[in-house]
Structure 1
């Protein structure tokens, strides 16, 4: 009688992650709000020239154009307000894309949505001579919607099953094509290229409060739409068939989310240029705290996404003083390794 070979030792069971619950989620949200407030103060004080906190306070409460107060009043307040709005828009749009598309590797930059908005703005400035944000912002919305629809049409072609990876690859391809066309248009028209240079790399400087005021209404409407669909996102994330069996209106949720992402991504790109990875990193980071409840993920994204963008902007100001790195480049340095880690992690989970 032959001896039976011992069975290989089984892998130890994975310990499920522990998430905040109940009052802990609210405390975490308040901590995030405090971090955001500190980031705003740092954004007003830190830069190529550091301004003291008393001077910052005087510029905010009793501006008299004395000393360095003009730096805070004229340069950093508009920059900080724009970062708050753009960060909010990118965080909410990325969360919606991941929830409705059930694609944890997506955000508006990776799927080419920001590239579509930027391309349409470039064409509006080059061929129509539109230079004011109140005129070309509508082209940003049209470009974001066009790119979003095109990506999902490309991802659904062929007989293979539509998967998050197929949609991701389609977004990267469509975004690359639109970026190439945009660069070609700018190189053929140097004047339009000069007009686009200030936001071409996703920079937040050289903006007036008029820019923030122009995009703010659309971001507010997009945020309200997020509130409308927040409750139904948890059901929609379970899949179309299961969501319908539970009484969820999948078509309504997807339609409202489409409008919200168009407004949020289009307004953010029109105001600050194409800034990527904020909408990818923040939902993944806060999900470790909130768990899979999309209502809390949206709430946390409202504070942590602007804080991340402000931190990236501050880092860009000081890392190569006296010059600056645009915030979009800093977020790319951080976000690209995060995307690689997420892809490798998903592959390991499936093996």
Structure 2
């Protein structure tokens, strides 16, 4: 039986789900992710049977199939981590801005991270993966502040549509800057253009270990901000009345989200729409309470990106389609639906 109603960033009333329903959906998602993990390791240019997968996990590596599995395992882990990070950052940005259109890609934050990495690579000779990550986080933070400042201008403050338009315009401008930087640099152009699509191919455990502390810190900050996000959902005045330091709460939550999307962009490239689609779907399943929404978004986002990677390998076999393209096919129609639902108001 459902309990008290709350309000989503889109302004719609959502019924809170009882704990047993949330736990049921949590177990369902765990089961689906387990199936997707097996599919991710088994499916590709070469299909690998499940018994061979079990042998490889046990330490055997004397056959070609088992060698292929050892390449696919870090790719699977990276897809899980990247999907979780992007979904949580999207949920946090939606909560911070009370904007149903908020997503690191739509708001131009991913492209800010991309431009910082490309500029660092082209002009400052960045070579250490940690320097890529720091540059991406800095670029994401600057882009987030810029878009929020532009979207806050004019009457009504930072309305959802104004933020989306400011993010789209900023993202388009940053794409042009990235192109301008890499065109004269034939030595980096090919790798950067491939990275700009967004994907999890070529993953190694070395790269994963390098990005893991940043993802862990960002996720911890976001999860610790869950109660504050619940207060912010009631409006700034009500949150302040409840004893919340609104500016600090918004800043800390945003910092965690920026760390997640910046670090993910540094290692995978800009992957869009995961942070838009997943939080909306999770609210329908577990309700708007961020104490549940954020962990559930992490789990569902991990599954979505892993599924996109598997689909990309199936539909283009023996080649593959990067996950950034697959998520765009899923997310673009959903973005149009959300915009139409908002009735394109408050320009």
TM-score surpassing 0.5? yes
TM-score, normalised by the number of residues in structure 1: 0.91
Which residue is equivalent to 1:111? 107
Report the structure number with the largest CA radius of gyration. Answer: 1
Secondary structure of the 1:107 match is: coil
TM-score, normalised by the number of residues in structure 2: 0.92
Which residue is equivalent to 2:329? 333
Whether 1:66 and 2:75 are equivalent positions in the alignment is no
Which residue is equivalent to 2:3? none
Unaligned residue ranges in structure 1 (runs of 5+): 1-14
Contact kept? 1:82, 1:271, Cα under 8 Å: no
Which residue is equivalent to 1:89? 85
Unaligned residue ranges in structure 2 (runs of 5+): 1-11
Secondary structure of the 2:44 match is: coil
Which residue is equivalent to 2:141? 145
Greater Cα offset, 198-207 or 155-164: 155-164
Secondary structure of the 1:233 match is: helix
Structure 2: distance between partners of 1:226 and 1:21: 23
Matches within 5 A, 1:17-36: 20-36=17-33
Whether 1:131 and 2:127 are equivalent positions in the alignment is yes
Contact kept? 1:19, 1:289, Cα under 8 Å: no
Contact kept? 2:89, 2:256, Cα under 8 Å: yes
In the alignment of these two chains, the number of paired residues is 335
Secondary structure of the 1:38 match is: helix
Which residue is equivalent to 1:264? 260
Structure 1: distance between partners of 2:344 and 2:173: 31
Say which of 282, 287, 292 aligns to 1:286.
Answer: 282
Which residue is equivalent to 1:223? 219
Cα RMSD for the two superposed structures: 1.8
Q: Give the Å deviation of 1:23.
A: 1.2
Which residue is equivalent to 1:121? 117
Q: Give the Å deviation of 1:129.
A: 2.0
Q: Give the Å deviation of 1:160.
A: 5.1
Is the alpha carbon distance of 1:17 and 1:171 closer, same or farther for their aligned partners in structure 2, counting shifts above 3 Å?
Answer: closer
Q: Give the Å deviation of 1:232.
A: 1.8
